[in-house]
Structure 1
Amino acid sequence: MKTKKYIVIAAYNSELAKRQPWYSVSYFIEKLRKDYDCIIVGSVKDIPKTFTGEVIKVFSLKDIITFDSFRSRKYKLTYFCSLPIYNFSSFFCLGLNNLLRNIQDLYRLIIISLIPKSLICNVFSNADSVIFISDETYNLFSTLNNKLHLIPFKKDNWGGGNNIEIKRDKVAYLGPPFETRGFDIALNLFNKIEGYECKVITRIERDSLKKRLINYSNNSSNVKFILGMLSREELLKELSDVKILVLPFRVVMSELPIVVLEAAELGIQIITTKECGVSSIKNFPGVIINKKDIPIDILDKVELKLANQSFFDEVEKINSIFWSKYNGKD
C-alpha cells in the first residue's frame, strides 16, 4: 500500500498543466504518484486533523501572511516554491511606463518584494523542507538548511521532433508580447541586426495586448510575426529552422519558464537572462545577458550545438540528487 501525501494547491487546473505555473506542479505530482498515493486538495482545511504524513503546499503569498497557522501541525510540511521572490529594486529595470502597463500581472510579486526576506526565510524555516525550481531563488536563500533543488522537466515531449534535420538559420522570440519577458528588447535587437531572418511567435490572450503588439509591429517591418495559439505540431514547425531564441526576461511570473528547456531540447541556442532559472547549470546552451539591452554582435558569439545533451546531463544529475534527498527524508 502506497504512503499517502496531500498536495495543497488552490484552483489547480489539470487542463492547463502543460503551461506555467501548472507544468511544474503537474510534473512533480506525476513523479510522486509512482511511489505515493497523492491527494490534491484546494486548502489546508481539507486535510484530516489526524493526518501525520507529509503535506506538500504550493507556496503562495497567503503562506507568508498566515504562516503561524502551521506551527501546531502534526504532519510534515514541504513547500513547493514556483513563486518568484524579488527585491523591489528588481522591478526598476522595467521603467515606470512598463511597470504600470503590466501592473495587473505584477502586483502579487511587488507585494512579496516589499516583505522583508528575513520574514520569508522564517516561513521557510518552519517547514521540514522547501523545494525550489529556480537556481536563482535557490541561491537567494543560501542560509536555509532545509532547501532542495528540482528542475521540473521531462524530455522527449516533442514526439521526436528534436531529431529534425534542417538548416537552422533564423532568430526568433517566442511568447506573449509582455515587456516583463523582454519582448521589446528582442524586437529592438531584431530591428538593428543584419544578415539574419527574424520572427516573432506570439499569442494574444487579451484584447489589451492587440494594441500593444500593433504599436511594436508597426516599427518592425523586417520582422515576421506569427500570431495565434499554435498547436504543438504548428509550433514545432515554426521552431524547426530557428538557430537562436531570444528570451530576455526582465521578470518572470512563474519560475523556470518551460520555453527555455523545450527550446534547448530542440537544439536551439538561447539568449536569455538569469531569470530563466537554469543559468548557473553547467553547459547552458546559449548566452546569459543583463536585463537592459542586448549587444548587436551577441548573435555572432553563439555556437550551434544541435544536441545540447551535456546540459541535460547536468539537469539529470541535479534531479537525481533531489530525489535521493527527498525520498531519504521519509
Structure 2
Amino acid sequence: MDESKTVTLNNGLTMPKVGLGVWKTTPAEASQMVATAIANGYRLIDTAKQYGNEAGVGAGLQKGLAENHLKRQDLFVTTKIFNGDQGDYDKVRSAFNDQLERLQTDYVDLLLLHWPVFNRYNESWRALEDIYKDGQAKAIGVCNFNVAHLTNLLDHAAINPQVNQIEFNPRIHQPETVAFCQGNHIQLEAWSPLGNGQLLTNPVVKQIADKYGKSSAQVELRWELQQGFVVIPKSTHSNRMKENMAVFDFKLDADEMEAIAELDEEKHSIWYDKFKWSGNPEGVEDYIARNEII
C-alpha cells in the first residue's frame, strides 16, 4: 500500500501522521523515549510545559539527532502554552522563550494553546500569531477547543489555527468538533488515541486485529488515521513504538470502520468532565493555582 505518512496543514506545512506523546513521564524517561523514538523512525514529538519534561525532551532531541545523523529540520516538535501563562501577551511570549530554551531549539514546528482557558485564549492567541510571524513556530493551533471556543476564536483571529488536538479514540468521537474542524480546514490530532487501553481487549477490535495479523492498538490507530487524524500514542518500549508506526500497510473496510465506531460511548478516558476550565463560575484562577488543568 502506497500511502503518504504526512498531512499538509492549511499553511502548507507537512506534519507526520504518527508521533510520540510524552505525557506523564519524567524528564529522564522523556529523554530516553524521544531518543529511542527517533531511532525507530519517529519524526513527530509532542510535549507541553504542563508535563514538566520539556528539558528531558530537549535532551532526547539532541541525542536522537546526533545518533541518527539528522538535522533539526528533520523533526517536527510540538509543545503547548501552559494555562497559567495564558491571558497576558508578554507573559505568553516570555514563557514560550523559556520553553524553547528547555527544548534546546530556536523554534517549534507546532505551538498549541493547551486549553481554552476562560476569557484568556483570545489574548493568548494574539501572542501565538506574532510568535508564528516571527518564525518561532512554523504552525500554531489549539487543544481541546470545542465548536463554541473555535467559533469565538475565529471571530477574533487574524490567523486561523492549523491544528486542534482533542481526545479522540473509539470511545469518544466528539462529532460536532470534528465536523467543524474538517469544514474549516483545521487538522485534527488525537491525544489518548488508544483511550487508556480500555478497548484493547474488546472482542470487536480483537477480531479485526486477528484478521489482519495486527495488534488491537494498531487497529485503533488505523481507524483514526483513516478518518484523517494525526495520532500521538505514548510508549516507553522500543518494540511498542515500532508497532505503533507499522500502521500504513493495511486498511480497514467500511464495515470494520463502522463496527469500531459503534463502540462510541462519548466518555472521556480520564477525568475531563469534572473540570470547568472553559467558563466556570468559581473562577479559573483556582483551577490554575491547583494545576488541575493538564
Q: TM-score by structure 1 length?
A: 0.31
Determine which structure has the larger strand proportion and give its number. 1
Whose relative contact order is higher, 1 or 2, with alpha carbons under 8 Å and at least 6 apart? 2
Larger radius of gyration: 1
Q: TM-score normalized by structure 2?
A: 0.33
